[in-house]
Amino acid sequence: MNKLLIIGGSDAGISAALRIKEIDGRADVTVVVADAYPNFSICGLPFYLSGEVADWRTLAHRTAEEIAQHGIDLLLDHRALDIDPKTKTVGVQSSQGASMRIPYSKLLIGTGAESARPPIAGIDLPGVFFLRWMADSFSVKRFMEDHNPKTAVVIGGGYIGLEMADALTHKGVRVTLIEFAPQVLTTLDPELGRLIHAELGSRGVEILTGHAVERIERSDGRLLVRVASGQAVAADMVVVAAGAKPSVELANTAGIDLGVGGAIEVDRTMATRLADIWAAGDCVHTWHRILGRYVYMPLGTTAHKQGRVAGENMLGGRCQFQGSLGTQVVKVFDSVAARTGLRDNEARAAGFDPITVALTTWDHKVYYPGAKQLHIRLTGDRHTGRLLGAQMVGHRNAEVSKRIDIVAAALYNEMRIGALCDLDLSYTPPLSSPWDPVQMAAMQWLGMIRQSG
């Protein structure tokens, strides 16, 4: 028997299955999927709920039929319950309750993450929603169609919380966003977080930062969200977007070791400590390329890469995951925020001696109509000049994602900040300047170093 079994049909699992089939078209590959939606873009759910994506079916990276055409067996609506590494079998139960044990020669765990559930009384009341899987989006969609909510509370000011504030506002719902931290989007420095705060406010989103939600109650047919200060916000619906935690229950049944953040411990080949078992995606800890250590950083881009590495190694390969830089981008109404690498405080905690410069410039030549301001914070090591990270906020048409990717590519190759000035980047007046804003920030950083002696 040479059966390759994959648990989980999202980014990591399907990437692994496809990589296996690329290498060996005759390989026996089965993917166990807990729902009926393999390889769907969960990142696209807010845009489906906003109505910007009209048909949820288009969120599929590949349809089940397209996956099956690669010779991959999909076992849909089946949940894996336990792993027995001694007999090399996995207990599986269908949505109708039928049970079976599936043998494997090689196993990949790609169970992903689940929504974090903060200790809030009333979090399971009707009208309170999480957003992690396709079924979650269908529940929100049905509620909005049946009840026509006019007001909503979003708990959490991270990426999903901001996207849902945008999506609900797009649908005409008045949103109050509550964040425990002092600012929204804590992955950015406060100077840039304030710009996103202002963008939300300009669109009518009420923002309460520095407030912990204590409980949710039902009062006069509506939901009442109470915070620790005693303030209460009434709403027709609530979306909880308080982050994610790794889904490791299945791994626990096999006695697999856990690592950083309570995620599954893997090495850079994505192998666990148990023979013939790999794991990838949001359920595992992740090698950070700059820090040189493992972190918990669940990102879809990372999951795709890790799944591909695991799939190759399940066939005997020696591929290694090259590490994450934490490159992220989010659209909030007409603003885009992005980051990659380390912020100043993160770099200092990691033992670097960072300097960060702030630059505000135009995204393209100002004489060409439509120029927008672009805000950049660039971080490097004072002594070596090594590039450590960047953050950006700009208009949605300001090529923010392109520019953060320039920095990400430079970080991957461990470039010094001065080398950014030597890059042969594209230029035309409607899109950039002869010196791209990234290079302008690099020059400013070099100037600060010279001035500091």
Compute the distance between CA of residue 434 and CA of residue 272 in angstroms, rounded to an integer: 49
DSSP-derived letter for residue 87 is T
Please give the backbone phi and psi of residue 339, each rounded to the nearest 5 degrees, phi first.
-155, 160
Q: Considering only CA atoms, which of 12, 33, 39, 135 is closest in space to residue 76?
A: 33
Compute the distance between CA of residue 200 and CA of residue 339 in angstroms, rounded to an integer: 19
Interacting residues of 89 by C-beta distance below 8 A, sequence separation 6+: 83, 101, 102, 103, 104
* Catalytic center residues: 43
Q: Considering only CA atoms, which of 286, 328, 404, 241 is closest in space to residue 12?
A: 286
Q: Considering only CA atoms, which of 2, 16, 7, 14 is closest in space to residue 308?
A: 16
Sign of CA dihedral 43, 44, 45, 50: positive
For 15-78, the DSSP string reads: HHHHHHHHH-TT-EEEEE-SSS-TTB-GGGHHHHHHTSS--GGGGBSS-HHHHHTTTEEEETTE
Compute the distance between CA of residue 20 and CA of residue 13 in angstroms, rounded to an integer: 11
The total number of residues written for the chain in this structure: 453
Compute the distance between CA of residue 285 and CA of residue 303 in angstroms, rounded to an integer: 11
Sign of CA dihedral 262, 268, 273, 277: positive
Compute the distance between CA of residue 183 and CA of residue 189 in angstroms, rounded to an integer: 9
